[in-house]
Amino acid sequence: MPSTSTRAESELRGHTDPQPLLQVNDLNVGFALPHGITQVVHSLNLAVPHQGALAVVGESGSGKSVSMRSLLGLLPGTAQVSGSAVLTTGRGQGRDLLAMNESTLRQVRGRQVGMVFQNAMEAFNPSVPLGRQLTQALLWHDLCDRKTAQQRAIQTLADVGIPEPERRMKMYPFQLSGGMRQRAMIAMATIARPQLIIADEPTTALDVTVQKQILDLLVQLREAGMAMIMITHDLGVARHVCDEAVVLRHGTLIERSGIMDLLTGARDPYSRTLVDAALDVGVEPPTAEASAAHAGAGDGGPLLRVQNLTKVFGSRGGHVLAVDDVSFTLRQGRTLGVVGESGSGKSTLARMVLHLIEPTSGTVHVNGSCLAEVGTRTLRRMRKDMQMVFQSPYGSLLPSATVSENIGEPLRINRLGDKNERRTRASELLRLVELDAAYLDMYPRQLSGGQQQRVAIARALALEPTLLVADEPTSALDASVQVQVLDLLHGLQERLGFAMVLITHNLAVAERLAHEVMVMQHGAVREYAPTAQLFRSPQDDYTRNLLAAVLPVRTGLDGGPDE
C-alpha cells in the first residue's frame, strides 16, 4: 500500500484530533415534495481530520452523495438542510459551511473544498475546451491573472499524469479517453489547491485497470497533504484510499470506525452484511467447482460448441473487429465465465452465442446443431432451450405487463399452455426465485432492482432451458443484492442442471460461479482456463494485470485468508 505511512499517522491521531478539518454535526437533509418533506439524511455526525481520508460507504439510496453535496450547497433548491459543518482551515476559528450565505460559500467551493464527480463526461461542459474549464476555478476566485491561470492549468494537468498538457488545453472533453477525462476532472478539482477533496464515486464508471490508476493518483494527492472524503459503495476502494469509514444506510449513520476495524470486525450487523457481501478474488471457496463435482453435473456431454467466432462491425469510418476468432466448448451443467473490460467484445459474443447477432464468420453448435444452418423454424424451436438474462433488470422486462405476464411471456410466445396454466407456472417460478406470490400482479416498475432481476431469471427459466446466457446479471445491483442473486443463480443451476455462459467485468463474480473462465481483451481471448488455475497461476500478462488491479477487501488482513 503506497499510503501506509500516512494512514498510520492519522490512525494515531484518530478521533482525538482537537480541531478536525471538517466537523459535521447533526446534519439533516430533506427534499420538499408536493405532498410534504422527504427526509433523506438523519442527524449525521462525522469528522475529517486534517490530511485525513474518510470513506462514506453505503449502497444506493443511503444518502451518501446527498449528504456530502449538501455541505457545499450543491443540492437543488428543493433541498432543506440543517445542522452544522465546521470547516477549520489554517489556525483560525472554524467556520460553519451550512450557516454561510451563498457568496461566502462560493469562496469555499473549489478554493478550500474541491469536488470530484463520478462521471467526468457529464461533469465537464461538452462544448467548452478543457483549458477554459480548468482555469475558471482560478479566475472565478480572482486568484491570479489569465496567463498565470493558463500556466497553472498546464502544470496541474501534468501533475495528474496527463501527457502533452498544452495540447489538451484546447481539446474538448469528449476527445479524451475515460481515464484521461477522470484525471482532468481531478485536475479541475485540485487546481486551486483545496485542503479537502470530496470525491463522489470517482472510479465507479471506469474499468478496473483504469480505476486502479485513478485511485493511485488520489493516494498521491493524499500524500501531498490533501484531506479527502471518498463517497463509495466499494469497500475495496475505501480500503485502498482511506483510513476511516462511516457506513450509511437509508440516510442514517450505522457505524463509524477505522477502515481496517470495519473490515475485520464490524460491530453493526448491517456493516457486517456489507463486508460479507463484498466479493474478493482468490478467497471465496470455489463453490462452483466443489458443488459441480458433488452433483456430478460437470460430467455431461458438450452442449455448446463455439468455433472461430468472429464479428466485424462495419461502419463508414472503418471496420471494428468486435470479436476475434473465439472458440470454446461448454458441457451440460457447467458455467463459463467470460471476463473483460468495456470494449472487450464479451457482450457481442454472448449475443452471437444465442444468434441474436449473426457472426461474421465461425459457428455456434448447440446440442450438435449449427445455429446458422438450422433455418428460422428450427432456430425458433431451439430458442426454448437457450435463454438469456440481461444486465438491466428493469430494461429487459416488458413495462406494460405484470410480473406474471412477464414470466409467462416465453410460454406465450411459444404457444404453450393457456392463460391459467401460464399463471400457475409463473407462480411456481416465482417461488423458485424466492419471491412472494403477492408480486404476481405487480408491474416491474413497482419492484426493486434485485426483485426485478429475480423476475427476469424466472422468465428465463420458464421453458427449462439447457443453456442460460447471463450478461452482467448483477452489475446494476447493490453488492448485498448481488451476492443474493449470484447465490440464487448458483442454486438454481445445481437444481436444474442448465449450462451457463456468464458475462461479467468482475473477476470475483466469475470466480464465484464459473467452472472455467475466459478472459477477453479487444475481442480476442487472452486466457481460457479452469477457474482455480486461472486465479492461482494466470499465464497471460493481461490476466495478471486485471488480477493485480482488483482491490482487495478482506484479503491480506489479519485473520483473513492470505492474498
Interacting residues with another protein between 386 and 445 (CB under 8 A): 387-388, 390-392, 395-400, 402, 409-410, 413-414, 436, 438-439, 441-443, 445
User: From the CB of 110, what's the least distance to another protein, in Å?
Assistant: 4
172 binds another protein (CB under 8 A): yes
User: From the CB of 16, what's the least distance to another protein, in Å?
Assistant: 31
Q: What phi and psi, each to the nearest 5 degrees, are found at residue 346?
A: -65, -35
User: From the CB of 74, what's the least distance to another protein, in Å?
Assistant: 5
**How many residues bind to another protein according to rule CB under 8 A?**
104
Kindly tell me the burial class for residue 311, based on how many C-beta atoms sit within 10 Å of its own C-beta (0-12, 13-18, 19 or more): buried
Coil vs helix vs strand at 187: helix
User: From the CB of 213, what's the least distance to another protein, in Å?
Assistant: 6
Among 380, 431, 495, 544, binds another protein (CB under 8 A): 380
User: From the CB of 123, what's the least distance to another protein, in Å?
Assistant: 4
User: From the CB of 354, what's the least distance to another protein, in Å?
Assistant: 6
Applying CB under 8 A, which part among 11-19, 351-359, 421-429, 553-561 lies near another protein? 351-359
User: From the CB of 530, what's the least distance to another protein, in Å?
Assistant: 26
Residue span 473-512 as binding mask against another protein, x where in contact by CB under 8 A, dash where not: -----x-xx--x--x-------------------------
The answer for residues whose C-beta is within 8 angstroms of residue 75's C-beta and 6 or more apart is: 29, 66, 69, 81
Among 124, 498, 528, 535, binds another protein (CB under 8 A): 124
- Return the residues of window 210-239 that contact another protein according to CB under 8 A: 210, 213
| Rg, the chain, Cα only | 26
Comparing CA positions, the residue from 77, 55, 122, 70 lying closest to residue 100 is 70
Task: Give the span between the Cα atoms of 243 and 10, in whole angstroms.
Answer: 7
Task: Give the span between the Cα atoms of 181 and 217, in whole angstroms.
Answer: 13
The answer for residues whose C-beta is within 8 angstroms of residue 122's C-beta and 6 or more apart is: none
Q: Which CB, 86 or 189, lies closer to another protein?
A: 189
User: From the CB of 253, what's the least distance to another protein, in Å?
Assistant: 17
- Return the residues of window 21-80 that contact another protein according to CB under 8 A: 59-61, 69, 72, 74
535 binds another protein (CB under 8 A): no
Among 125, 148, 378, 424, binds another protein (CB under 8 A): 125
Amino acid identity, position 550? V
Give residue for cell 475546451.
Answer: 129
Among 459, 505, 526, 554, binds another protein (CB under 8 A): 459
252 binds another protein (CB under 8 A): no
159 binds another protein (CB under 8 A): no
Task: Give the span between the Cα atoms of 203 and 226, in whole angstroms.
Answer: 18
Coil vs helix vs strand at 105: helix
Task: Give the span between the Cα atoms of 474 and 482, in whole angstroms.
Answer: 5
Q: Which CB, 134 or 529, lies closer to another protein?
A: 134
Report DSSP letters for 376-414, one per residue: HHHHHHHHTTEEEE-S-TTTTS-TTS-HHHHHHHHHHHT
Residues in the chain, total: 563
User: From the CB of 533, what's the least distance to another protein, in Å?
Assistant: 27
User: From the CB of 541, what's the least distance to another protein, in Å?
Assistant: 13
The answer for residues whose C-beta is within 8 angstroms of residue 14's C-beta and 6 or more apart is: 49, 258
Q: Give strand pairing partners of 200.
A: 231
Among 177, 296, 368, 558, binds another protein (CB under 8 A): 177
Applying CB under 8 A, which part among 4-12, 107-115, 296-304, 328-336 lies near another protein? 107-115
Residue span 359-378 as binding mask against another protein, x where in contact by CB under 8 A, dash where not: -----------------x--
Among 122, 223, 464, 563, binds another protein (CB under 8 A): 122
Are 468 and 460 contacting, i.e. CB atoms less than 8 angstroms apart?
yes
Angle, in degrees to the nearest 10, between helices 146-159 and 130-139: 120
285 binds another protein (CB under 8 A): no
Among 84, 522, 549, 557, binds another protein (CB under 8 A): 522
Strand ranges, E, within 291-360: 302-315, 318-331, 335-340
